[in-house]
């Protein structure tokens, strides 16, 4: 687990440094095209709300803000918040009475996110350093957990799902974008398509995703394909609710 975590950290550290130096980021190597990963997956009106650096740093495979249906006054947690694009958009959706947390393990991404939030003039945000397997927030402290193409990067997904359930209040919900594999692909076949940092090797299948969420205690689970990102690998939206 530690080796995979460091591989992922170094990859996203380099992406953050690229953006801080004025270059575009690139998350997923040869599988990536501009219309399956990154800022192009957000509406033009949403991109217009954001600093250029936040859009450049977008490494996701979807738009969790569209999935989560955020409401005024809610508290949101973004797992693997990167350059802060989803935290900034969330903060605006929940308004002054709400709050958006971003959690990331990479110092350079946290620096970039805080810079972007300041430029966007959003103050109801807080960026935390930590791991998505060990969320540094109390039990039942958030209404919504979002994430954008990050859970596939974890080597301990059962703990990630358990942590999401722990920090959600009763009735809280998930709104996640992630890379998901076709059910017939074995873990070895997924690894052949890319590494963990490239968003592919660690992807769960559709059936595995549902099973892990059920095991963590979630209900009303939906895992729906949105677009293909590689051979039998898909961007997907994930919804679920804590009872």
**Share above pLDDT 90 across residues of the chain, in percent, rounded to a whole number:** 54
pLDDT tier for residue 58 given thresholds of 50, 70 and 90: low
In the DSSP assignment, the letter for residue 216 is T
Q: Which domain holds residue 152?
A: 2-241
pLDDT for position 187: 83
Q: Which residues pair with 230 in a beta bridge?
A: 233
d(CA 91, CA 57): 18
Which CATH number fits the domain that encloses residue 81? 3.40.50.150
Q: Is 180 exposed, middle or buried (0-12, 13-18, 19+ CB in 10 A)?
A: buried
Q: What are the φ/ψ torsions at residue 3 (nearest 5 degrees)?
A: -65, -45
Evaluated on CA atoms 75, 87, 132, 153, the torsion sign reads positive
pLDDT for position 80: 93
Q: Which two tokens stand for residue 175?
A: 């709104």
Task: Please enumerate in sequence order all residues whose Cβ is within 8 A of that of 170, keeping only pairs 6 or more positions apart, or say none.
Answer: 140, 242, 243
Q: Decide if 233 contacts 183 (C-beta within 8 A).
A: no
Q: Decide if 174 contacts 218 (C-beta within 8 A).
A: yes
**Share above pLDDT 70 across residues of the chain, in percent, rounded to a whole number:** 71
- Tell me which residue of 189, 180, 233, 229 sits closest to 208, measured CA to CA: 180
d(CA 8, CA 195): 10
With 80 as the cut, is the pLDDT of residue 49 above it?
no
Mean pLDDT across the stretch 76-89? 93
Mean pLDDT across the stretch 99-126? 94
- Tell me the pLDDT tens digit for each residue of 120-157: 999 999 999 999 999 999 999 999 999 998 998 898 99
With 60 as the cut, is the pLDDT of residue 160 above it?
yes
Give Cα separations from 21 to 14, 30, 108, 121, 147 (angstroms): 11, 23, 12, 21, 25
Return the half-sphere exposure (C-beta side, CA atoms, 13 A cut-off) of residue 36. 20
pLDDT for position 66: 81
d(CA 23, CA 15): 9
- Tell me the pLDDT tens digit for each residue of 90-103: 999 999 999 999 99
Determine the longest span between alpha carbons in the chain, in angstroms: 47
pLDDT tier for residue 20 given thresholds of 50, 70 and 90: low
With 50 as the cut, is the pLDDT of residue 28 above it?
no
With 50 as the cut, is the pLDDT of residue 159 above it?
yes
Q: Total domain count for the chain?
A: 1
pLDDT for position 40: 55
pLDDT for position 197: 43
Q: The tokens 């800022």 sit on which residue?
A: 39
């Amino acid at each position: 687990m530690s080796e995979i975590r460091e591989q992922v950290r170094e990859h996203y550290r380099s992406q953050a440094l690229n953006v801080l130096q004025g270059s575009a980021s690139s998350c997923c190597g040869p599988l990536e095209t501009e219309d399956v990963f990154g800022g192009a997956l957000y509406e033009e009106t949403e991109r217009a709300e954001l600093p250029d650096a936040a859009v450049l740093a977008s490494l996701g495979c979807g738009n969790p803000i569209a999935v989560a249906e955020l409401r005024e006054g809610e508290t949101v947690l973004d797992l693997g918040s990167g350059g802060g694009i989803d935290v900034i958009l969330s903060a605006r959706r929940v308004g002054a009475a709400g709050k958006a947390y971003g959690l990331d393990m990479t110092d350079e991404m946290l620096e970039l996110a805080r810079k972007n939030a300041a430029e966007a003039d959003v103050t109801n945000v807080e960026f935390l350093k930590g791991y998505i397997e060990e969320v540094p927030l109390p039990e039942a402290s958030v209404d919504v957990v979002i994430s954008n193409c990050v859970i596939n990067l974890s080597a301990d997904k059962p703990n990630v799902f358990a942590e999401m359930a722990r920090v959600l209040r009763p009735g809280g919900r998930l709104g996640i974008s992630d890379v998901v594999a076709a059910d017939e692909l074995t873990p070895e076949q997924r690894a052949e398509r890319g590494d963990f940092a490239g968003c592919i090797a660690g992807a769960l299948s559709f059936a595995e995703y549902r099973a892990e969420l059920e095991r963590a205690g979630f209900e009303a689970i939906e895992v729906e394909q949105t677009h293909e990102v590689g051979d039998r690998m898909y961007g997907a939206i994930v919804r679920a609710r804590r009872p």
